[in-house]
Amino acid sequence: MYAIVEIAGKQFKVKENSRLFVPRLKAEVGDTVTFDRVLLVADDDKVQVGKPVVEGAQVNARVLEHVKGDKVIVFKKKRRKGYRVKKGHRQPFTWIAIESMSV
């Protein structure tokens, strides 16, 4: 059984007992988070597609930790002008574990 869930404006395919990175959530480590924007639920050969969401479906997850993604380097240069700027950015993410799904 799997589901397509919208978390922070992005869609993720989730299964029970799976772990994934999502954009930073406003929850403490160890908290249980419920996602009710379930767009699709598939169980063997039975598929329910929401219009836009599946009524009564929800996914429960536990927050494992807050982490930062890989560093992205932004480098700007204008040739022959002596202009060089180097900046880095690390996007904040939350590591979650899917505990249960209910339809």
Q: Tell me: the pLDDT tens digits for 53-64?
A: 999 999 999 999
Nearest alpha carbon to residue 99 among 65, 61, 63: 61
User: How far is residue 87 CA from its own chain's centroid?
Assistant: 25
Question: How many structural domains comprise the chain?
Answer: 1
> What is the per-residue pLDDT for 79?
97
79 within domain boundaries: no
33 within domain boundaries: yes
Q: Are 61 and 31 in contact (CB under 8 A)?
A: no
84 within domain boundaries: no
85 within domain boundaries: no
The helix/strand/coil state of 41 is: strand
Please give the residue range of the domain that contains residue 53.
Answer: 2-64+93-102
37 within domain boundaries: yes
Q: Tell me: the pLDDT tens digits for 54-98?
A: 999 999 999 999 999 999 999 999 999 999 999 999 999 999 999
75 within domain boundaries: no
* CA distance between the termini of the chain: 11
Q: Are 14 and 5 in contact (CB under 8 A)?
A: yes
